[in-house]
Chains A and B, each alone.
Chain A
Amino acid sequence: DAKTTQPPSMDCAEGRAANLPCNHSTISGNEYVYWYRQIHSQGPQYIIHGLKNNETNEMASLIITEDRKSSTLILPHATLRDTAVYYCIALNNAGNMLTFGGGTRLMVKP
């Protein structure tokens, strides 16, 4: 699976959009981009995933660049409860083993 790179930490003001970047420059054509988050002392929570088209669900939007070398997770209106570590993972859809890197620690501030 392709390696992903994320900034270690980010701050966001409550009510504003949080844009979390992820670099996956070596991603292959059949690898999806998955996003999970882990709130302190809880298990990871699935957020969204996509292959090449932008995706949106009730939690977030996922914007994938045309060359698929990077993506951005967007939380449109961040709340204090969105404070968590966000993980971006590239994974072949036929595979099922997630490898967690360091993620981005998002701090939403009042």
Chain B
Amino acid sequence: GAVVSQHPSWVICKSGTSVKIECRSLDFQATTMFWYRQFPKQSLMLMATSNEGSKATYEQGVEKDKFLINHASLTLSTLTVTSAHPEDSSFYICSAYLSGGSKNIQYFGAGTRLSVL
């Protein structure tokens, strides 16, 4: 299958700092990427849809000024958690959408574990 790379895999930061997470589709171009958040023992929750060259679409309850998304190229989307606080500690996962005929599939990155002290 297609490969999606997510970096970093784990980050620990102090409260108040900003953290940037990168999501790259390595062997295909992705007009659309997605950002999810997952708390322990819960399912994935969609945060936002990232579209190349346009503004991201955020799900209800997700603060767009808190979670900045940039999708500047067809292979890279970034999520920046601004002024992170302990309640932002979570597992963040990106996916990239590969479309083509009946093979419309989202491929996921390995996730980024964010721990805010």
> A interface vs B, CB < 8 Å?
32, 34, 36, 38, 41-46, 49, 51, 87, 93-94, 96-103
Contact = CB atoms under 8 A, between A and B. Distances in A.
A51 B108 CA distance: 22
Nearest to A45: B108
A51 B102 CA distance: 9
B108 A96 contact: no
Report whether over half of chain B's contact residues are helix, strand or loop; otherwise say mixed.
strand
A94 B4 CA distance: 21
Contacts of A41: 91, 111, 113
Interface stretch (B14-22, B43-51, B66-74): B43-51
A24 B54 CA distance: 34
Given A43-B109, A93-B104, A101 B6 contact: no
5 closest pairs, A vs B, by CB? Answer: A43-B108, A100-B44, A100-B43, A43-B111, A44-B108
Instruction: Name, among A32, A43, A99, the residue most crowded by chain B CB atoms within 10 Å (CB to CB).
Output: A43
11 contacts: A41-B113, A42-B110, A43-B109, A43-B110, A44-B44, A46-B1, A46-B108, A87-B43, A98-B95, A98-B106, A101-B43
Contacts, number: 54
Given A41-B111, A97-B34, A102-B43, 18 more contacts: A36-B108, A41-B91, A43-B4, A43-B93, A43-B110, A44-B95, A46-B108, A51-B102, A93-B102, A96-B32, A96-B104, A96-B106, A97-B46, A97-B49, A98-B34, A98-B95, A100-B43, A100-B45
B73 to A, nearest CB: 19
B105 interface: yes
Contacts of A99: 46
Nearest to A43: B108
Interface residues of B, number: 27
Instruction: Name, among A42, A45, A101, the residue most crowded by chain B CB atoms within 10 Å (CB to CB).
Output: A42
Nearest to B57: A97
A13 B110 CA distance: 27
Contacts of A96: 32, 97, 99, 104, 106
